Amino acid sequence: MTLRPATSDDRDAIVAVFLACWRESYVGVLPAVAIEAMTDDRAQALWRRVLASTEGTVFVAEHDGLVQGVTRFAPEGDGGAVHSLYVSPDARGLGLGTRLLDAAYDSLSERGAASVALWVFAANAPSIAFYRGRGWLPDGGARTQAEFGEPELRLRRGGRRPA
């Protein structure tokens, strides 16, 4: 398994991982209309914008020569945020999610983030359990995604300030 910064050449592979997660992992978490709204074209446009942006970093995890996971993160104020973490359903159990999450956290911490936050759908109990098991705890922050109408919780983990 390798982790590396994503390039625009990875877009199609990232979209495949993203759509697989969207359609399989979020069933029961998001309303059907939200699942159906994420078309292939919409996912392509989303990740085209993400990969062209200079406001954050995208890492991919490869296993057996295929992109099987992706995370996006960025500094924000005196902290940082993990904006997304997706692992292909075919690659679950390989530890890709943990490696990608740790890489995002370490990168933001090395940049001086006092803490790192991420948002997770409140109904996604498996994801919340995954993050809690890695030291990410709810901090009382909550919001509702206007587009999906589903509540999210903010999880936070302290960052390491360089001496």
Mean pLDDT, the chain cut into blocks of 10 residues (163 residues total): 92 93 82 84 92 90 94 88 91 92 91 89 89 92 82 86 44
1 CB neighbour count, 10 Å cutoff: 13
Token pair listed for 135: 């030291």
Residues 80, 73 contacting (CB under 8 angstroms): yes
pLDDT at 160: 59
37 CB neighbour count, 10 Å cutoff: 13
pLDDT at 163: 42
pLDDT at 36: 84
Q: How far apart are CA 83 and CA 52, in angstroms?
A: 16
Residues 121, 151 contacting (CB under 8 angstroms): yes
What is the SS3 assignment for 101? helix
Closest by CA position to 51, among listed 19, 6, 13, 97: 6
Q: pTM here?
A: 0.85
- The backbone torsions φ and ψ at residue 107, rounded to the nearest 5 degrees and listed phi first, read -65, -45
**Structural domains of the chain in order of their starting residue, each with its CATH number:** 2-114 (3.40.630.30)
Residues 50, 7 contacting (CB under 8 angstroms): no
> Which helix (H) or strand (E) is 150 found in, with range?
none
